[in-house]
Each structure stands twice: as structure tokens, then as C-alpha cells.
């Protein structure tokens, strides 16, 4: 069993959660059960699935949870783009979060490839 607290990708995921929560705090109230809810679920899913994957005994299971985290990250990227297009977030906030998200996606993908190679 791995200690998820020691994984840099988990730490980056938690940081991204904080950044995204600050970003969506200013969304219109009408989006409380729409984009705001969906974005918060997606971003929380990333470090949560990394942590859950760490509890699994097999590399195959660990890799599967990394894939789920990666899927959530791409879903989040889409929702952030939609939010920007709707004018809910400014380009600077969007760009900062997307940069962090893309770096996290690369890191998750690299760890997944490594986990797959030792399966």
C-alpha cells in the first residue's frame, strides 16, 4: 500500500481543489446546482481517486484509479473552458488553473504509464 500523502500528484491535486474553489466562489448563484456543482465534484475526484488507488494492493487497480483521476481532470478542463466562454471566469484565472491542471494531467499520465509498466 502506498502513502498517498507522499505523492506529489496528490499534493498538486489538493492545491488545485483550493484554487478551483476560490475560482468558482464568484459564479452566479443560478449555477449552484449546475456548473459550480459539477466542477467541484470533478476537482475533488482527482486527488480522491489518487488516494483511493493508493489503497489498492495491485498495480493494475492503482493504474485504474489513476485513469479515473485523469478522466476527471479532462472533464474539469472542459467545464472550465465552458465557464470561461460564458464569462464566469476571467482569462487570467482560467489560464492559471488550466496551466496547473495540464501539468497535473501530465504527471498523472506519467505515473500511470510507470504503474502499467511494472504490472
Quote the pLDDT of residue 118. Answer: 87
**What grid cell was written down for 108?**
498523472
In the chain, domain spans: 4-117
Q: Tell me how far apart the terminal alpha carbons of the chain are, to the nearest angstrom.
A: 15
Domain at 4-117: CATH code: 1.20.1440.60
Is the pTM higher than 0.85? The answer reads yes
**Rounded to the nearest 5 degrees, what angle is found at the Cα of 66, between the Cα atoms of 63 and 71?**
130
Tens of pLDDT, residues 54-66: 999 899 999 999 9
Amino acid at each position: 500500500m502506498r502513502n498517498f500523502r507522499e505523492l506529489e500528484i496528490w499534493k498538486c491535486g489538493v492545491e488545485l481543489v483550493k484554487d478551483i474553489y476560490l475560482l468558482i466562489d464568484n459564479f452566479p448563484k443560478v449555477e449552484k446546482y449546475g456548473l459550480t456543482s459539477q466542477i467541484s465534484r470533478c476537482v475533488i475526484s482527482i486527488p480522491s481517486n489518487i488516494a483511493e488507488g493508493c489503497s489498492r494492493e495491485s498495480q493494475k487497480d492503482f493504474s485504474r484509479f489513476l485513469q479515473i483521476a485523469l478522466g476527471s481532470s479532462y472533464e474539469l478542463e472542459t467545464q472550465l473552458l465552458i465557464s470561461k466562454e460564458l464569462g464566469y471566469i476571467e482569462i487570467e484565472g482560467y489560464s492559471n488553473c488550466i496551466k496547473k491542471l495540464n501539468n497535473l494531467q501530465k504527471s498523472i499520465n506519467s505515473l500511470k504509464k510507470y504503474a502499467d509498466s511494472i504490472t
